[in-house]
């Protein structure tokens, strides 16, 4: 769980059958699509599976590593909440 740009506590959801990244707000029960496709899924027809995501830097960033999207990936990606951007 981390804080979204508006300050609400949310849960990041990545992976599974669908590509992309969603945010789930457990208070309002709303789900917001942030990305149709996250970088490790590029070129894959289904979502990243078996990856790990960890909040870092007081949950202002998320680290995403590992996973499978058509093939195993050993890439590490960082998502910046404020900028809504990914870096490898």
Q: Where are the domains of the chain?
A: 2-87
* pLDDT at residue 18, as a whole number: 86
- pLDDT over 80 (residue 29): yes
Mean pLDDT of 2-18: 82
Half-sphere exposure of 41 (CA within 13 A, CB side): 21
Per residue in 31-74, pLDDT (tens digit) is 999 999 999 998 888 889 999 999 999 889 999 999 998 888 88
> Cα separation of 63 and 27, whole Å?
24
Asked if residues 31 and 21 have their Cβ atoms less than 8 Å apart, the reply is no
Reported confidence tier of residue 4, pLDDT bands at 50, 70, 90: confident
pTM to 2 decimals? 0.85
d(CA 61, CA 48): 19
């Amino acid at each position: 769980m981390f804080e979204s740009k508006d300050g609400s506590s949310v849960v990041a959801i990545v992976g599974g059958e669908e590509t992309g990244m969603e945010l789930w707000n457990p208070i309002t029960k709303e789900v917001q699509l942030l990305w149709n496709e996250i970088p490790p899924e590029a070129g894959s027809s289904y979502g990243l599976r078996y990856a790990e995501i960890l909040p870092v830097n007081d949950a202002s960033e998320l680290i995403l590593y590992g996973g499978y999207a058509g093939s195993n990936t050993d890439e590490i990606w960082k998502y910046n909440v404020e900028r809504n951007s990914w870096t490898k």
